[in-house]
A and B are shown apart, each in its own frame.
Chain A
Amino acid sequence: MLTRELTINNKSGLHARPATLWVQTASRFRSKIKIKRGGSVVEGKSILGILSLGLSAGSVFELLVEGEDETEAVATLEQLMIDLENQDR
């Protein structure tokens, strides 16, 4: 299992469009993907789950990925976070 600590750096947070992109991206991988913030852990391929964390700008969360394509999944999701930040500029 791989874990990463990530920070939301785009200005509107992981809401509608960014969350949609996140789930679409995460769903391409076979690995189990979870997101942990504070005491809650949610399914990383569930849009409701992600929205329920209310990840607004500046929030920090932990990404937990386990499975055959975990390395690629983590790299792709990390890149997505960077892209989202860049799109704000």
Chain B
Amino acid sequence: MNEKIWRGLGVSAGRAAGPIWYLKEFQADAARETPTDRSVEEELARLQQAITRTERNLTSLEEQVKAEQGEEVAQIFAAHKLLLSDPSFIGEAQQRLQKGQLSAEQALREVAEEAMQMLRSLEDPYFQERAVDVQDVLVQLLRNLQDTQEKVSDLFPKTGNYVVLADELTPAQTIALPKERVLGFIVRQGGKTSHTAILARTYGIPALVGVAEGWEDLRVQKWIELDGEEGWVRLSAEGHITSADNGLWEEDISSQSGSLQGMILAANIGSPGDLPLVQKFKAQGIGLYRTEFLFMGENLPSEEEQVEAYRQVIASCAPQLTVIRTLDIGGDKKAPALQLPQEKNPFLGVRALRLTLRRPELFRQQLRAIWRAAASGPTAIMFPMIATLEELAQAKENLWAARDEVLQDGHPVGELQIGMMIEIPSAAWLADKFAAKVDFFSIGTNDLTQYMLAVDRENTELAELYQPYHPAVLGMIARVSQAALRSGIWTGVCGEAGGEALLAPFFSAVGIKELSMAPGSLAKVRTTLAKLELSLAEREKLVESVLACASTAEVQEVLQSFYPLS
């Protein structure tokens, strides 16, 4: 065996081996970058059009990523959008175009190269890495200028698993790759805080960055092995394929299955495109299927398109349960095709069920699609943003009417568990009344926290006040779960708190049956629950101590003392 070894910075733990796939840097068509006969006005208009398209792409990426991976990762794309309106970037490019003789491509490239050079010359590596952001935006603008449809996902081989090698890997590229077939990332540039590092960790894919030495040699190898913790790459025998999940987590699952104190660990998803991640992280079903994304495009989906999208998820998760949430638009989620009026206070306005009850056609269509899709496997439906029993009654009326319509159309219908989200304090308080009317509760901790502490979770100035660990929030959750248990129905938690390893034992102790989270959080929560064996007395003690706390800080201290997480 060859002893050759390459070193880099390990940024996402795990070991993997497989064939190399090298991602070439995007080369814009050089001929198009030379001065053209077009007038200055034409070039400016082309640039503007490319900006508009890029902005649209970035917005949809941001929304998608925010829902799937959380705020931290989505923020990358918010930063990219700022570049599109940056006077020192786009403004500067426009000024150069004004002078004539340059194509929009050239002007952009000039300005971007200067910006990247400026950033790379800064001392702090945090700042140097921001050059990748400029590169990412530049590539997207150039593509949109040239209408190049060539996407990373088209370049990636159609079959097989690969270790991805790239000189630089932009977040948009990383997200476009079929992650289930990516064994690892090796990137020449970048440091610990690079986007590749953050994304690789969210996806649980081993990654190495900053592998500058010997790069040209590494690039032409065929089969390699990497360790994303120790930070090395070496040659490996051809035909040898391993991925991080069957090294790291397979063991966890086999040795600990059945010992999760009866807790079901499910995944939150936004589209059928997330299914590979669900399988990779071995989720036990889908605890939250957000249907918003279907509705966020320029056109609304047809009933058939909806049936197809739901069916794909349900069939792939069967025999495990898929919980579909009806449309939750409004608040922070926009849908241009629905032409919603601007509201002064969107989080307290016409969002989610409040919207669908006002748009019966839209609502019925979705309900029909869900009934039809439910024929392909175990399915549950839940309604978001319920404040009163009347709303629940109306939603259920629509649900039964939709079932009749489907039967009249001659389509088969499936069985549905009917549930509701608990995220508004009034519904949480009346949980015992609601429990008599539904099959299950799913607690949306993000909104419950926001509404209980009266803090807009988008308002960065109040970030400190947004406290999912607040004893009032946890007390409310305990109360809801106990009301559900008394009525013989089950309760899940599907907000971001559901993916917090520190809270999992508490949730288990108050009788929560399912935790649903971003697929990337499953391994950690699973390991935490499996390691912890609490007796009944200890569980009672845990709940009692948490509920006796007066502040978030106290709660965190109590939780840490019960099971210190390394």
> Chain A interface (Cβ within 8 Å of chain B)?
12-13, 15-17, 19-21, 23-25, 42-43, 45-49, 51-52, 54, 56, 76, 79-80, 83, 86-87
Contact = CB atoms under 8 A, between A and B. Distances in A.
Given A45-B87, A54-B122, A83 B463 contact: yes
Contacts of A19: 79
Interface residues of B, number: 27
Q: Which of B83, B115, B460 has the most CB of A within 10 A?
A: B460
B126 A12 contact: yes
Given A48-B86, A49-B88, A54 B127 contact: yes
A87 B127 contact: no
Interface string B85-102: 011110000000000000
B130 A86 contact: no
Interface in B434-483: 460-461, 463-464
A79 B460 CA distance: 10
A35 B122 CA distance: 17
A24 B461 CA distance: 12
Contact of A83 (B115, B130, B464): B464
Given A56-B126, A83-B463, A51 B119 contact: yes
Contacts of B76: 16
B89 A15 contact: no
11 contacts: A16-B126, A17-B72, A47-B83, A48-B86, A48-B115, A48-B134, A49-B87, A51-B122, A79-B461, A83-B463, A87-B463
B25 interface: no
A20 B127 contact: no
Nearest to B123: A54
A66 B193 CA distance: 35
Given A79-B461, A87-B464, A47 B126 contact: no
Interface of B: 72, 75-76, 78-79, 82-83, 86-89, 115, 118-119, 122-124, 126-127, 130, 133-134, 193, 460-461, 463-464
Contact of B130 (A16, A42, A49, A76): A16
Given A48-B83, A48-B115, A52-B118, A83 B126 contact: no
Contact of B127 (A23, A25, A56): A56
B87 A43 contact: yes
A54 B124 contact: yes
Contacts of A16: 75-76, 79, 126, 130, 133, 193
- Tell which of A20, A56, A76 has the most Cβ of chain B within 10 Å: A20
B553 to A, nearest CB: 10
A47 B86 CA distance: 7
A15 B397 CA distance: 52
A20 B124 contact: no
B82 A47 contact: yes
A87 B465 CA distance: 11
B130 A46 contact: no
A45 B88 CA distance: 10
Given A15-B124, A25-B460, A52-B119, A20 B78 contact: yes
A23 B76 CA distance: 14
A10 to B, nearest CB: 11
Contacts of A49: 86-88
Residue in B72, B126, B134 whose Cβ sees the most chain A Cβ within 10 Å: B126
B308 to A, nearest CB: 37
Nearest to A49: B88
B136 to A, nearest CB: 12
Given A20-B78, A20-B79, A79-B461, A15 B126 contact: yes
Contacts of B87: 43, 45-46, 49
Contacts of A51: 119, 122, 127, 130
Given A23-B82, A24-B82, A51-B130, A83 B460 contact: yes
